[in-house]
Amino acid sequence: MIGRLKGVLVMKRPPWLLLDVNGVGYEIETPMSTFYDLPEVGAEVTLSTHYAVKEDAVALYGFLRESERSLFRALQKVSGVGAKIALAVLSGASVDEFARFVQGGDVAALTRIPGIGKKTAERMLVELRDRVEGLADGASAISPVAAADPVSEASVALQALGYKPAEVARLVRDAAAAGDTAEDIIRKALKAALR
């Protein structure tokens, strides 16, 4: 099992990154909460990882904060929640925000995250209420990275998180402003989607 990787950040394309660890390139999927805080390409980074083996695929997920990996794992223990929904949760809300939603019984806030319906949100409230305490470890400063085509990059990332193309087009159109990076557009679009 791969629990942690330290290496040079070679590529960033939301929600994917490529990490060079002593000449071996690891393709890692990350939630947008981690992606926002990544350093520039060429910098060294350490990620906590979750290695998943499925019937037809092997996947590696990366997190800058241990609290994100812990929540990612806890979410997948909820019936009907897989990696895709767990990444969407972490991309749409911080660990602290998610904990507040669960502790406050806020089904409406949870259902605004793509892939989470009312029944799944209710299961999350019941199954995670006792597990979300103590997950928060604070957020670090955000360091956005310029992209060649931020609007396209943001659109691809939002679709990977489960948003439908028509909804992505609307969210990106409303969120994009001159000079925004893909991460800026994604962040604003996710906040708008959760309102």
Spatial contact of 82 and 73, defined as CB atoms under 8 Å apart: no
> Please, what are the domains in the chain?
4-63 (2.40.50.140), 69-128 (1.10.150.20), 150-193 (1.10.8)
Beta strand residue intervals within 23-151, DSSP E:
24-29, 44-53, 58-63
Query: Can you give the pTM of this predicted structure?
Result: 0.69
Q: How does residue 86 score in pLDDT terms, banded at 50, 70 and 90?
A: very high
The mean pLDDT of the chain is 84
φ and ψ at residue 148, rounded to 5 degrees: -65, -45
- pLDDT score at 134: 58
159-180 b/e (C-beta count within 10 Å ≥ 16 → b): ebbbbeeeebeebbeebbeeeb
- pLDDT score at 135: 59
Render pLDDT for 150-179 as a digit per residue (tens, 0 to 9).
887 888 788 777 787 778 888 888 888 888
